[in-house]
Each structure stands twice: as structure tokens, then as C-alpha cells.
């Protein structure tokens, strides 16, 4: 079913092009996806994405239903859902490590969305592949996630995340012992030109990113620290990129962890065995706090660390 969204330019701020304006209004879609939509002005005139916007401009966007060979009927129950909260509008779950968010070419079954669909319905506004999805966690990042069950909740949650009107805190085990207890890390993030799977900090371009890192524990004999990271923006791989760029890569991170260069310094047999047997970053979305999209009540959810991160902490404390 085609979805219609309408936008009226109230303030141009620093945005001058139509494509950038529409991307800011629809953060649940990539710019390449938006360029495929049927976009007109309110009076029916065609729109060029490179055109400059003006205050008062009105746009009508037709978003076609997602066509895919992976239908939402392909639900599955490959793992037990850890449901933290559920009502008629939202469902909050603790995502396991190693689980993909939604179906893709290489992952057609066993995804988090499919398991939720085996339990309940989700808003169709995210499309057939991504129903109810308003934010994402990487495959090997565990923790608290909220999904929209009603269309009204979907719209409000998308707005909440795009405006960063919520609190997100993560736990990370990292290489290195900082000489500070708390640090504000800022720096624009963009996709790497050398490796399209990676993101990188850039001096110009990209998107602004802000992470607050606090040291929770430090094991100097192992050269490892435990940090709590608070996100003020939500860029792809933000914590992993920011910490790695500042010399504190997340343990077991295959993209940014630089693990092979660090393993030689590990003397403890149990820690070395753990690090060699894990290939998913030691990162967990611990806290998610936001206003309920319908009732407007403040809600706070906290998920305990997964077993492997608990095991890692035990090893470090026993060394």
C-alpha cells in the first residue's frame, strides 16, 4: 500500500537542497531510497532534488509499498524473545547478540523482526521487510530496542529518534586505559572511501556525532577498560568509530577493534582464549529512555549484559 507524506518548509536553516531537506524529514529512509519515490510540489509540479528550497515550499511524497521476495509471512521463532514491555502501540525487547535486525539477501530467516512477527503485529509503515523498525542495532550488538506496533506510534517514534529526544546508554569493553574519567567525543562521521563497510571520522563533510564516554572499570594489568557511552546522536557505528579513533577500540570488533595487534600483549590464558573465540564487538545497548509515543509517559528500560560480556568481566576481575 502506497504511503503519502506531506511536508511544508518552515525554516531552511543550513539546508539549501531539496534532497537534503527531504532526507532530514524522513530519517527512516536513505537518500538513495528517497530519490526513487514519486515527489511533487503541492500544486502538482515536478521536483528536482538539486533545487534550492524556500520557506513555504510544500512537497508531496508517495512512498510505494516495498516489493520483495521476503514477505512478512516468513515469520520464525529461532530464539526466545526477551520482552521488556508491550502494549497496543509498542513492544520493547532485549535483542540478543548475533541476531540480524530484519531480512536481507544474505539473511532471509532467523531475524529479530521475524521473531517479533511470530508473537505480534508491527506497523506496516516501515515496509514489508522492516515493519515497525524505527532504529537499529548491529548484528553483534545486543540490548534494548523499541518497535512500533501502531502506525501512530511509528510516526512519533521516528520523530523522537530523528530529533534525538531520548536517552541511550551503552556498555563497552575497550582496549586501553584512559587518563580521564569522562570525555566528550565529537567528530563528523562518514562512510569510508576505502572500505564501504566501514564508517570513519572526517574533518569535513559527513554528519555530526557526539558521544559521552565514562570509565566504569579499568584493569591495568590487562590493558582493558569498561565504559558507559551515552549517545547524543545516532550515526552508524558511532560508538565503535569514536572510541577506536581516540585509541580505545571495542574488544572483539572485527571492523574497528585492531584485535590482531593487541592479542600479543595478552598474558592471561583465559582472557586470550575468550578474545580468540569471539568475533562480535563487546558492546551492549543497556538503557533506552523515551516518552511513550501515544501516552507521552516517560519510560525507561534497562537490559542486563549478555552472558558473554558477563563472562568477560568475570575473567578480568579474577585476573
288, three cell numbers: 533506552
* Contact between residue 131 and residue 72 where contact means Cβ atoms under 8 Å apart: yes
CA-CA-CA-CA torsion sign (19, 20, 21, 23): positive
**Chain centre distance of CA 29:** 13
Q: Could you say which of 19, 57, 138, 253 is catalytic? A: 138
Identify the three-state secondary structure at position 207.
strand
104: Cβ contacts below 8 Å, ≥ 6 apart: 70, 129
- Give residue 310's region: left, alpha or beta (phi > 0; psi -120 to 50): alpha
138 classed as catalytic: yes
Backbone angles phi, psi at 171, to 5 degrees: -110, 130
Catalytic residues: 138
Amino acid at each position: 500500500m502506497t504511503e503519502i507524506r506531506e511536508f511544508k518548509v518552515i525554516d531552511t536553516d543550513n539546508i539549501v537542497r531539496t534532497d537534503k531537506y527531504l532526507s532530514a524529514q524522513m530519517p527512516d529512509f536513505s537518500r538513495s531510497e528517497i530519490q526513487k519515490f514519486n515527489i511533487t510540489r503541492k500544486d502538482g509540479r515536478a521536483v528536482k532534488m538539486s533545487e534550492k528550497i524556500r520557506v513555504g515550499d510544500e512537497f508531496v511524497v508517495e512512498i510505494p509499498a516495498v516489493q520483495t521476495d521476503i514477505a512478512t509471512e516468513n515469520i520464525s521463532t529461532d530464539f526466545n524473545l526477551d520482552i521488556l514491555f508491550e502494549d497496543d502501540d509498542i513492544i520493547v525487547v532485549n535483542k540478543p547478540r548475533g541476531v540480524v535486525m530484519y531480512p536481507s539477501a544474505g539473511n532471509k530467516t532467523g531475524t529479530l523482526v521475524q521473531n517479533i512477527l511470530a508473537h505480534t503485529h508491527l506497523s506496516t509503515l516501515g515496509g514489508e521487510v522492516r515493519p515497525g523498525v524505527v532504529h537499529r542495532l548491529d548484528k553483534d550488538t545486543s540490548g534494548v530496542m523499541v518497535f512500533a506496533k501502531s502506525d501512530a506510534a511509528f510516526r512519533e517514534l521516528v520523530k523522537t529518534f530523528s530529533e534525538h529526544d531520548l536517552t541511550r546508554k551503552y556498555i563497552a569493553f575497550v582496549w586501553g586505559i584512559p587518563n580521564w574519567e569522562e570525555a566528550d567525543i565529537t567528530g563528523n562521521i562518514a562512510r569510508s572511501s576505502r572500505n564501504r563497510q566501514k564508517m570513519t571520522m572526517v574533518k569535513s563533510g559527513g554528519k555530526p556525532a557526539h558521544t559521552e564516554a565514562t570509565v566504569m572499570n579499568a584493569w591495568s594489568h590487562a590493558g582493558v577498560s569498561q565504559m558507559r557511552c551515552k549517545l547524543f546522536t545516532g550515526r552508524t557505528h558511532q560508538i565503535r568509530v569514536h572510541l577506536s579513533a581516540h585509541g580505545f577500540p571495542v574488544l572483539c570488533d572485527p571492523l574497528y577493534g585492531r584485535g590482531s595487534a593487541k592479542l600479543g600483549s595478552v598474558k592471561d590464558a583465559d582472557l586470550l582464549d575468550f578474545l580468540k573465540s569471539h568475533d562480535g564487538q563487546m558492546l551492549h545497548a543497556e538503557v533506552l529512555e523515551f516518552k511513550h509515543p501515544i501516552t507521552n509517559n516517560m519510560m525507561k528500560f534497562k537490559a542486563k549484559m549478555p552472558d558473554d560480556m558477563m563472562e568477560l568481566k568475570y575473567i578480568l576481575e579474577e585476573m
